[in-house]
Amino acid sequence: MDQTTLVPRIPESRVLIIMTGGTICMKRGPNGFVPARGFLEACLAPRPSFNDGSNPGLIEVVSQRVSRNALRSLRTPLSQYDRHIRYAVLEFDTLLDSSSIDAKGWTEIAQAISFNYTLFDAFVVLHGTDSLAYTCSALSFMLQNLGKPVILTGSQAPMLELQNDATDNLLGSLIIAGHFMIPEVCLFFNYKLFRGNRTTKISANEFAAFASPNFPPLATITSLKTQVSWELISRPTCIEPFSIQTNLDTAHVACLRIFPGIKPEMVEAVLNVAGLRGLVLETFGAGNAPGGSDSAMTGVFAKAVRRGIVIINVTQCMTGSVSPLYESATFLGRTGVVSGHDLTSEAALTKLSYLLALNRLSIDDVTNRMATSLRGELTEYSPTEFQHPRVPLASAQNSLNRLNHVIAQGDIRQVRDIVSVEGDRLLNEVDSSGNTPLVCIS
């Protein structure tokens, strides 16, 4: 018997690296850094952490719907999980500038994943950092019924530079993609794996360039191991085939940041842009904007909503959520402006573009889904509901019971929410014991 047959086969994962461009692949040129092709040969093959020297040969990759190519593959050394990762690099014909990316570029990435979905166990997308959070959010909606890891990463310094973050970012992405079944679109940066549609760029030069302000990391790499928070991982809830939704409607949405002294005429000019279908409104604090029930600003928003423009209210703050704590936010909600809860601006814009591209949806469908979590992009708050075992509770009684419950819990935010929606009339209601709530909110 051939002795080679006695050697146990070490398992390996197949990961496709999709190179779209960005700082990670750049090299020095006469006038500064420029994108460079041949990333596998120049950056990965010479590094022992990316190449165990086994020369595993060619691997089949689909570059177009009917175009199959054999690309050189490399294999990582054996990991602490007793597994190799075999990978190839698919470079786009034209490397994308992340500051110029649009729905066409997102479609190209989604199609590359779709064409190779059955050939690989996971995907790592290399991308510039300027719009990385937007691309993560867009892909999270475009990749429907995703059942495999898709991890996006990049770097603040090119991999060919002596001091860089590219090596650790790419190796960390490969390790997680090749070892852990996390079927989400994620962003890996500075040893942390985030849910992609929860991220935002927080630094132009620090290696810790990204954060997920309202949702904890899905995984963290330390010197000892990779710690995955499995309870946070989102998985498909139905058995449906993987598919992609392309051509997000980014050409008919806009983002407007409210500032002190902004005039209604300025807002109206944006809302009157020809063909505009949706607006992400970045407001103060918990969702506040200038105006009142009869103000000119409120009237501008109300008229736009009546014309069928979907307006999403998100906070300018890094952390926190839009909530009807104050009168100004309540007035916005009454005009038909949709609460974006704790959506990032990136997630709100791409989600709105995704839903508006689904022609089968009505305006009401779009507004309802914007306030509902589709891919874990926002935190849904479910108020406590009370029900008598035999007799249905009246609406006022149910609201009063909820108010009593949150008062007992000391949850001032929920108290404010309930009172702002129900009004002072609720304070005059009595519960089944004849008690009335006495609330002092400063």
What residues contact residue 266 under an 8 Å CB cut-off, 6+ apart? none
**Angstrom distances, CA of residue 433 to CA of 151, 378, 429:** 56, 38, 11
Asked if residue 148 lies in contact with residue 117, where contact means CB atoms within 8 angstroms, the answer is yes
| Catalytic site residue from 23, 129, 153, 199 | 23
Q: What is the DSSP string of 379-424?
A: PPP-------SSSPPPHHHHHHHHHHHHHHHT-HHHHHHHHHHH-G
Longest dimension (CA), the chain: 90
Asked if residue 123 lies in contact with residue 15, where contact means CB atoms within 8 angstroms, the answer is yes
According to DSSP, the residues that pair with 71 across neighbouring strands are 59
Asked if residue 154 lies in contact with residue 126, where contact means CB atoms within 8 angstroms, the answer is yes
Stated as kind and residue range, the H or E segment containing 62 is strand 58-62
State the burial class of residue 27 (Cβ atoms within 10 Å of its Cβ: 0-12, 13-18, 19+): middle
Q: Is 291 left (phi over 0), alpha (psi -120 to 50) or beta?
A: left
Within 10 A of 289 (CB to CB), how many other CB atoms are there?
A: 22
Residue owning tokens 């590094």: 47
Residue 23 is a catalytic residue? yes
* Active-site residue set: 23
